[in-house]
Chain A
Amino acid sequence: MSYRTPITEADLHAYVDGQLSPARRQEVEEYLAESPEAAAQVKHYRDINQGLHALYDPVLSEPLPPQLSVTPRPRRWPVRVAAALGWVTLGAVLGWALKPAVVPDMESALRAQLVQPAAFAHRVFAVEKLHPVEVTAADEQHLIKWLSRRLDTPIKAPSLTGQGYALVGGRLLPSTDRMAAQFMYQKQNGQRITLYIRRGVWSNATSGFSYLHEDGVGTFYWVDGPLGYALSGDVEQPELLALAHTVYQSLAD
């Protein structure tokens, strides 16, 4: 058989690597049917490809070593301070402006289903010395996957390292009528904050930030699509608001 363009060595490689156009692939296949030598060569190349996959594909399913986790680098000092000040100012303005955005009956549902369980969970686990979290940040990927599966919606653990808070880990919690996820963050001085996430009756609403302070724990909470978020901690309101903004921003990314 004659081909418009002769079949070359390069065609055989490209054929094995799946890089030929359908028309050319057909021509190569016809050629291979007539040429046992070329067919053996192609088989040999394929065997090498398969052998390499057999050798190294198991790496894909290995758990990642902790040093390969990706967290944004903390920024340099002056930038960080400026950024923090910016967020506090912006947050204060926005927080005030958005406060009335939550309508009254939704507000009571949010308090019962989101804020109170979140604040209570914060009180329970923030003081915990031995078992503050169920899964530590060393297994962050697993943690996120697991919680996303149990909450039946993709969730994230936002990075707060820019504000000095490192992720400790997280846990699954029963909430009033659904499951909730709690992420815990800790500052170098031991100060802890928790982010509580769950679905609720507010599904697919969106609200601005609201703030509630009870029994020494402050909580900023808001709704974004199907999920309600509550950030709780015994920290100054402006700092907590700045953190809530960072959380909100990184979830929106």
Chain B
Amino acid sequence: MQSIEQQVVEHIPRLRRYARALLRGDVAAADDLVQDCLERALSRLRLWRRDSDLRAWLFTIMHNLYVNRLRRADSQSTFSSMPEEIESLAAPPAADPMCLPELERACSLLQPDQREILLLVALEGLSYRQVATILGVPEGTVMSRLARARERLRRALEGDADVTLRRIK
């Protein structure tokens, strides 16, 4: 049987992917978050119930660390200028066929709580229930925030939504 440490190791790539998406592609900051998450998880392994979902537990730890960071950053007013509504973004350079940078930019402009939910569901493939447990909110809240996140993305990418989104594929 695998030790818990080994099981934790298997989740590192996914934790890294999520952190990278959450922190808008900032590699150093994302790996920093993963490292903090691993350290905290390993120091609290005894608190993890063996029959429970290790992955959800790790994501819960990462969420808490992320929220703490946001609060710290907020007190330094880095995030206070976060726009509530996203205006339509400038059209992407025509040379870029994938339009992924535009999607990344639109995502990074979402409210942090909406971005987290969108990424946990769309990227990590977690169920609404798992996401609700990780974030400590009701399942209905997860669903309504997810809907808002997608709606905002749609508006942000609009202007040429049909064209740009077809190109995302």
Contact = CB atoms under 8 A, between A and B. Distances in A.
A44 B150 CA distance: 9
Contacts of A37: none
Contacts of A72: 5, 42
Given A67-B31, A70-B8, A253-B1, A52 B165 contact: no
B20 interface: yes
A60 to B, nearest CB: 5
A72 B38 CA distance: 11
B115 to A, nearest CB: 11
Contact of A44 (B99, B104, B122, B161): B161
A54 interface: yes
A56 interface: yes
A19 B130 CA distance: 12
By size class, the interface of chain A is: 35 or more
Interface string A14-53: 1001110000000000000000000000011101111111
B168 A51 contact: yes
Contacts of A47: 165-166, 168-169
Interface string B1-42: 111011011001110110011000000000100110010001
A57 B6 CA distance: 22
Contacts of B104: 55
Residue of A9, A13, A51, A68 with highest tally of chain B CB at under 10 A: A51
Interface in A55-76: 55-57, 59-62, 64-65, 67-68, 70-73
A43 B12 CA distance: 31
B10 to A, nearest CB: 10
A250 interface: yes
Interface string B34-63: 110010001100000000000000000000
A67 B14 CA distance: 16
Contact of A54 (B98, B128, B147): B98
B123 interface: yes
B34 A56 contact: no
A68 B12 CA distance: 8
Contacts of B121: 17
B42 A73 contact: yes
Interface in B97-138: 98-100, 103-104, 107, 118-119, 121-123, 125, 127-128
A17 B146 CA distance: 11
Given A10-B147, A14-B128, A68-B38, A52 B119 contact: yes
Contact of A52 (B8, B34, B99, B123): B123
Interface in A141-186: 141, 156, 159
Contacts of B12: 64, 68, 70
B70 interface: no
A57 B17 CA distance: 7
Contacts of B17: 56-57, 59-60
Contacts of B3: 250, 253
Nearest to A12: B147
Contacts of B20: 56, 59
A21 to B, nearest CB: 13
Nearest to A40: B162
Contacts of A62: 13, 16
A66 to B, nearest CB: 11
